[in-house]
A and B are shown apart, each in its own frame.
Chain A
Amino acid sequence: MSAPRTSTTAGLVLCLLALGPVADAAARREARREYLEILSLWAGGSPDPAVQRLAAALTGSEADDGTVAVVRAVRPTARRLARNLGTGALVPVALLHEEAYARCVREQPRRAAGALRPALEVLSILEAEAKTADERAVVSALLTSLAGRMAEAHVERSSLALVRSAARVDPTNRAALFAVARSAERFGDHAAAVRSLQALLRLDPDHRESRLRLALNLMRVGKEDEGLDELRRLVAGSGPADWIAAVARQELARVLIDRDDIARARDVLAEIPDRRRRDPSLAVQTAFADERAGSGEVEDLFAALSLAAAGSEAPSRTLYLRPPNDLLAELRRDLVRRGQEWSPRVDRFLRDHQPVPSRR
């Protein structure tokens, strides 16, 4: 195994995050001892205290001294673990830093950016070490997972950069492809969204949400007929009566109304199942189609809006903005499983090679 080096992707991100002043040698030793204790807690099965102490170390001071100290402690530790145990040993380390970042976002959002530095340092070392397809898949998954946390914290541009790296490292990473598509769509890069979604659907043709997004983005880049074909595929047959089907029908109806094919638009809307009929956008679109056809009763719209006001279910079009991300959840479950597999070995290594005075 060659000497660890910093990869281009994470290294670039690290360069953007300028390092602070150099701590003196004693402080550095103390910081490293504290970091090893935290890592030992995490790997030894005490995740909450570990995350709490790491988050405190990262955000404890006004300046970014804590962050710098942790970053300096991360580098040699991660390299030693990778060299002695293999790159898999860095999975639990990366997950610890991801959890610490998420905690900082929740509790100290203004200082949370500092918590990204050590997390990216670990991923950088891991990416540089990854040689096999499986190792690259793990790096890609960890990048995607961290990017997901950043997106949840509305750090969207950096999240997109990270998840694009994840998709490059492992082009079969469906969660990364989906995340790239969602972010690209969010920033108006519909052509990029189409490319990612088409790649994803080649891997997973049954992913309905991706097909819905592909349809809409195809129409946005001017390929309206292709988009309509995708929508028709979604609403054909007896698929699940979920928000995806409802949005697909509404978008199909919207295009039909624009084309003055009101009768077919009304048919498409009428087939939205009762479960989704409390959606006010459906009530309004139906009323609009009716009025365009020169029919419809005002009382019906009022009744439908009253019904919608009494409901509590999130509207379909809101779910398109904040969908339950099944691919990311699946990816994280797999990472946690891998982390749990590696943690005992990391714990043993730390015990054998590093004197840990006490566990607080």
Chain B
Amino acid sequence: MTPGRLPGIVAAVVLVLAAAPSEVAAGPPYEGRSLREVLAELEEGGLALVYSSDLVRPEMRVREEPAAGSVQDMLDELLRPHRLAPAIGPRGRILIVRREARPIEARFGRPTPGELVTNRLEVLLQVEAEEPVDRVRILVDGRQEAVLTRPPFRTSVELPAGEGMRELTAHVEGAWGGRGLASVEARQYQVTDSVELVLRQLFVAVHKSGRPLRGLTEEDFEIVEDGARRQIVTFGNGDEPLSAAVLLDLSGSMSGAGCELALAAAGAFLSRLGDADRGMVLAFSDRTLAVTPFRPSREHFAAHPCPSPHASSTVLNDHLYAGLRLLDEETARRVVVLITDGADVSSVLDMSDVLWKVERSTAAIYWIRVSAAGASYGSAWRGVEDNRRQQELLERAVELSGGSIVRLDDTSRIGSAFDEILEELRSQYVLGYYSEQAASGRHGKMRVLVDRPLADVTLREASRGD
């Protein structure tokens, strides 16, 4: 074989194949063709292959178009599905040989050794193999419970009721004959009683010498409930991205100049969000006036014109629910900023429905309460007493969410109210822990300790069923 006889690329490949991988040009499609035919084509191109017809049989087909960047890898890809492999032979020839079956490494990711499990057992097997895995059999105490044929090797197994150690074994069978075995023991327990836990969130502001103390980590905090230390299960600080839904009530008292101010302040609020933050606006009266998508704050909404004043009817409850629901798919820290006098008139949802949602949401509600007017009004939809109850439930929703109420006597201060909220959000730490007291309806005495001398800690809490 002389290099001069060979087409350029294949000749170069032959020369370097034994030494280092080489780039391969885009050849004809191989998938589905006879393996022998493809190998013959490569030989015609100058590749010196040696193989037996017992190994490369006529019925073998190329199963998948090779994607390798070198001839060596490409040949490996062509041969691997047939349990064959290229090997360097004498005088630079390439021998096609049967692949050796090698042991397959397998271990259980779930359950972990000694893990406490109930009668529903989540199983995850981690497998490392050179060859394709044909199947994995999962056995519990010697009895086969599941057969898995493709990764990820994950399943759940129902165990019979009972307690004690359970032995799980996994038998892995490779396509080339390789075998693997893994086992683990888990402890099954019977649930005879349940302890309800409620995830409680604490919103903590830490100041030193009157200035917010930023950069604290989870390790700097300690939560104490009724004298008992609680483990922090979630932690966030003010630098975490925000997703903010600004809900603007533009009916009745908010019409005219109040509307202009509210829109300008909402725009300023959104423009002050960071690059990673997202904001949207939902404006309403007795109907939806405007809804913008969540988008990076720098592209925030262009100012919407104030609508002509509508009658005093307001659909507050429905739009608060909508704002919370729209936040559900946001991954950042969720915040609702609500600007309203709090007077709902014609919502289809009761505020107790919104409270149901608040209990299932992680959004904090900040209510910029325009005017402190009481709820002494009635309509065909709700009487005076019911309206008073609606406002009380809204106050409860804000408290439950861990947000706060910023009271405004007039709308001229609305911009500074937004600033106040943003400043609070930026300087807050959010600590989550499981509270048994909350689950039993009691309200434990809370303390948060911060590992910083002379630091002032301001605490607000939100509790939601988990």
Contacts and interface: CB of A to CB of B under 8 A. Distances in A.
B348 A302 contact: no
B284 interface: yes
B175 to A, nearest CB: 41
B346 A320 contact: yes
A308 B379 contact: no
Interface in A125-166: none
A285 B325 contact: no
A301 B325 CA distance: 8
Interface residues of A, number: 32
Contact of B284 (A186, A280, A301, A322): A280
A321 B346 contact: yes
A160 to B, nearest CB: 13
A309 B289 contact: yes
A182 interface: yes
A59 interface: no
A311 B307 CA distance: 13
Contacts of B315: 280-281, 315, 317
Contacts, number: 98
Given A182-B380, A321-B313, A281 B326 contact: no
A301 B326 contact: yes
A287 B347 contact: no
A105 B380 CA distance: 24
Contacts of B353: 288
A314 B315 CA distance: 13
Nearest to A296: B325
Contacts of B284: 280
Interface in B272-293: 282, 284, 286-291, 293
B325 A291 contact: yes
A299 to B, nearest CB: 8
B287 A320 contact: no
A302 B349 contact: no
A308 B287 CA distance: 8
Contact of B348 (A185, A281, A305): A281
Given A284-B322, A308-B287, A317 B348 contact: yes
A157 B352 CA distance: 31
B378 interface: yes
B192 to A, nearest CB: 28
Given A298-B328, A317-B381, A309 B313 contact: no
B318 A280 contact: yes
A290 to B, nearest CB: 10
A188 interface: yes
B383 interface: yes
Nearest to B378: A188
A276 interface: no
Contact of A298 (B287, B289, B325, B345): B325
Contacts of A322: 311
A288 B293 CA distance: 20
A146 to B, nearest CB: 22
Contacts of B291: 302, 305-306, 309
Given A301-B322, A309-B291, A321-B313, A285 B381 contact: no
A284 B381 contact: no
Interface string B321-332: 110011011000
Contacts of A182: 380
A317 B346 contact: yes
Contacts of A314: 286-287
Contacts of A285: 318, 348-349
Interface string A311-337: 100110110111000000000000000
B319 interface: yes
A175 to B, nearest CB: 17
Contacts of B257: none
B55 interface: no
Given A317-B346, A320-B346, A320-B380, A281 B318 contact: yes
Contact of B322 (A305, A315, A318, A321): A305
A317 B345 CA distance: 9
B348 A254 contact: yes
Contacts of B347: 281, 284, 317
A110 B287 CA distance: 31
Interface in A164-212: 182, 185-188
Contacts of B328: 298
Interface in A275-300: 279-285, 287-288, 291, 298
Contacts of A87: none
A298 B346 contact: no
A206 B67 CA distance: 75
B346 A315 contact: yes
21 contacts: A186-B379, A279-B287, A280-B287, A280-B288, A280-B319, A281-B318, A281-B348, A284-B321, A285-B318, A287-B322, A288-B321, A291-B357, A298-B325, A305-B322, A308-B288, A309-B289, A317-B315, A317-B348, A318-B311, A318-B313, A322-B311
For the complex of A and B, list the 7 residue pairs with the smallest distance between their C-beta atoms, beginning with the closest. Answer: A188-B383, A317-B346, A284-B318, A280-B288, A281-B348, A308-B288, A309-B288
Given A280-B287, A280-B322, A321-B381, 12 more contacts: A185-B380, A188-B378, A279-B287, A280-B319, A283-B322, A284-B321, A302-B293, A309-B289, A317-B286, A317-B348, A318-B287, A321-B313
